[in-house]
Amino acid sequence: MHKRTAVVLAAGKGTRMKSRQPKVLHAVAGQPMICHVLDALADCGVAQPVVVVGHGGEAVQQCLGDRARYAWQQEQLGTGHAVMMARPEVSEEVETVMVLCGDTPLLTGATLAALWETHEKTGAMGTVLTAVIGEPKGYGRILRDDAGHVAAIVEEKDADENQKAIREINAGTYCFDRAALFAALDAITPANAQGEYYLTDVLAIFRRQGGRVAAHTLTDEREILGINSRSQLAEAEAVLQDRLRRKWMDAGVTLIDPGSVFFHAQAVIGPDTIIYPQTIIEGETVIGEGCRLGPATRIWGSRIGNNVAIQNSIVLDSQISDDCAVGPFAYLRPGTCLAEEVKVGDFVEIKKSVIGKGSKVPHLSYVGDATVGEGVNIGAGTITCNYDGHNKHTTTIEDGAFIGSNTNLVAPVTVGAQALIGAGSTITKDVPAGALAVERSHMKIKEDFHGRKQKASK
Q: Look up the CATH number of the domain holding residue 161.
A: 3.90.550.10
- 423 in a known ligand binding site: yes
Residue 255 in any domain: the answer is yes
Q: Which domain holds residue 426?
A: 230-437
**Cα-Cα-Cα-Cα dihedral of 156, 157, 161, 165, to 10°?**
10
Q: What is the pLDDT of residues 308-366, one digit of tens each?
A: 999 999 999 999 999 999 999 999 999 999 999 999 999 999 999 999 999 999 999 99
Burial of 385 (0-12, 13-18, 19+ CB in 10 A): middle
Please tell me the least confidently modeled range out of 106-115, 269-278, 448-457.
448-457
Q: What is the pLDDT of residue 441?
A: 81
Residue 444 in any domain: the answer is no
What is the average per-residue pLDDT within 37-42? 97
Q: What is the pLDDT of residue 2?
A: 66
Give the three-state DSSP class for 313.
coil
pTM: 0.91
Same domain as 336, residue 419:
yes
The strand ranges marked E within 118-239 are: 126-132, 141-144, 150-154, 168-177, 213-217
**b/e string for 84-99 if b means 16 or more Cβ within 10 A?**
bbbbebbeeeeebbbb
Known catalytic membership, residue 363: yes
- 331 in a known ligand binding site: no
**Domain count of the chain?**
2
Please tell me the least confidently modeled range out of 102-106, 137-141, 232-236, 405-409.
137-141
Q: What is the pLDDT of residue 62?
A: 97
Same domain as 139, residue 261:
no
Last residue of a domain, one of 168, 197, 224: 224
Residue 73 in any domain: the answer is yes
Same domain as 331, residue 269:
yes
Same domain as 189, residue 48:
yes
Same domain as 184, residue 48:
yes
Residue 5 reports pLDDT greater than 60? yes
Last residue of a domain, one of 207, 224, 241: 224
For residue 290, the one-letter residue type is G
Give the three-state DSSP class for 236.
helix
Same domain as 419, residue 363:
yes
How sure is the predictor about 253, in pLDDT bands with cuts at 50, 70 and 90? very high
Last residue of a domain, one of 191, 224, 257: 224
Per annotation, catalytic residue among 2, 363, 393, 450: 363
- 177 in a known ligand binding site: no
Q: What is the pLDDT of residues 165-224, one digit of tens each?
A: 999 999 999 999 999 999 999 999 887 777 789 898 899 899 999 899 999 999 899 999
- CATH code at 353? 2.160.10.10
Q: What is the pLDDT of residue 444?
A: 83
Same domain as 168, residue 255:
no
Residue 63 reports pLDDT greater than 90? yes
Same domain as 384, residue 254:
yes
Q: How far is the C-alpha of 87 from the C-alpha of 81, rounded, in Å? A: 10
Same domain as 117, residue 52:
yes
- 366 in a known ligand binding site: yes
Residue 446 in any domain: the answer is no
- 312 in a known ligand binding site: no
